[in-house]
Amino acid sequence: MLLRPPGVLGSGSRPARACPGAVPVNQLPFRQGVRLAVDVGSVRVGVARSDPGGVLATPLTVLASGPGAKATRARAELARLAVSQGAIEIIVGLPTSLSGREGAAAAGAREFAADLAGRLAPIPVRLVDERFTTTEAHDALRRGGKDARARRQVVDAAAAAVLLQTALDAERATGRPAGQLIPARDAPPARDAAPARNEGPARDGVAG
């Protein structure tokens, strides 16, 4: 799924007027490098990747997750992906209600982000509000002709791509990284990111 790069307007859109004294977007600082974004679910973890220029986010893979050992394997595999992709930053989606309240899912995402920060330090891990990302991903996949069963297999990675594109656009518009930085000191001790015994590398699509 390709998402519209910043600065590309839809049909009938008019460019916004610049505010007096505003710094042009193309003059704001913007970090170059690959970013990964993560949509954390109880059964699957969707992963998206940006290009090195930080312009476009695309789905990368879906990792199987779950309780106990499955969650540990998913986190270790994600840490390996971050290193192999040369990521400069990891974005983790923070699920909240429409009013902004956090529940059990948000607590799980925060714990997931803290664990990743410990595994990947000094690579920064940030939490970014992910409201509506799954809905937008389903809508985009539906427009692309995928039926409900096909959407279930890829929607987590598509939602991660929506999240990542939002973060990229926000940084390009403001000159500041999006979201909340998770300090490495708040994370568990770093763990060995070497492949687990009998575990092969993740493949594009659904990890199984």
Q: pLDDT by residue (tens digit) across 27-84?
A: 788 899 999 999 998 888 999 999 999 999 999 999 999 888 999 999 999 999 999 9
Taking only the tens place, the pLDDT of each residue in 196-205 is: 333 333 434 4
User: Distance between CA 35 and CA 81 in Å, rounded?
Assistant: 11
Confidence of residue 145 (pLDDT cuts 50, 70, 90): low
Residues, the chain: 208
pTM score, whole prediction: 0.70
The more confident residue out of 206 and 161 is 161
Q: Which two tokens stand for residue 44?
A: 């699957």
21 CB neighbour count, 10 Å cutoff: 5
Q: For tokens 């840490």, what's the residue?
A: 79
Element (H, E) at 38: strand 35-40
Residue pair 79/193 in contact (Cβ under 8 Å)? The answer is: yes
Domains of the chain, earliest start first: 30-186 (3.30.420.140)
What are the residues facing 48 on neighbouring strands?
A: 37, 59
